[in-house]
């Protein structure tokens, strides 16, 4: 059966929907979008705060472990506490920065959870911490329902 529609003739290997446009237009648009996004990130105040503070924390924990200031088995509890503090600091910075608005509120919650978990493990409540997580989950569900 022959195709009588003269508008829809396409050669093998051609792109019939381009109408003179190059096939790389979407890539150029995406690259422009990525460049804008990188520029916005670079111009953000305190860019790299979380990463820098995390590296300082990990280095400090390695140093404290080597010097014997903390025992070898408790480094990860201190890591949880440190990450919680860093998350809260990052949340405070984002909360008080006009460009970021109020997007830093979730960092307070995760920071508090990390600090609470680290302190609980340091105090030796490792036997019953799953009950605390179950209770927190129930509290979240009840808060969601009401």
Q: 44 and 35 in contact (C-beta within 8 Å)?
A: no
Token pair listed for 97? 């920065």
pTM of the model: 0.59
pLDDT tens track for 87-128: 888 888 777 766 665 666 677 778 888 888 888 888 877 677
pLDDT tens track for 24-51: 688 888 888 888 888 877 766 667 788 8
Higher-confidence position of 124 and 16? 124
**103 contact partners, CB below 8 Å, separation of at least 6:** 94
């Amino acid at each position: 059966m022959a195709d009588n529609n003269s508008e829809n003739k396409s050669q093998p290997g051609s792109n019939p929907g381009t109408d003179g446009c190059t096939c790389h237009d979407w890539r150029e648009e995406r690259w422009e979008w990525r460049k804008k996004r990188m520029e916005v990130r670079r111009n953000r105040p305190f860019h790299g705060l979380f990463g820098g503070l995390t590296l300082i924390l990990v280095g400090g924990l390695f140093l404290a472990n080597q010097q014997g200031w903390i025992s070898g088995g408790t480094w990860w509890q201190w890591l949880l506490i440190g990450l919680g503090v860093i998350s809260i600091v990052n949340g405070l910075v984002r909360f008080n920065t006009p460009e970021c608005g109020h997007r830093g509120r979730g960092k307070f919650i995760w920071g508090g959870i990390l600090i609470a978990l680290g302190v609980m493990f340091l105090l030796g409540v490792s036997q019953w911490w799953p009950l605390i997580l179950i209770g927190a989950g129930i509290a979240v569900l009840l808060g969601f329902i009401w």
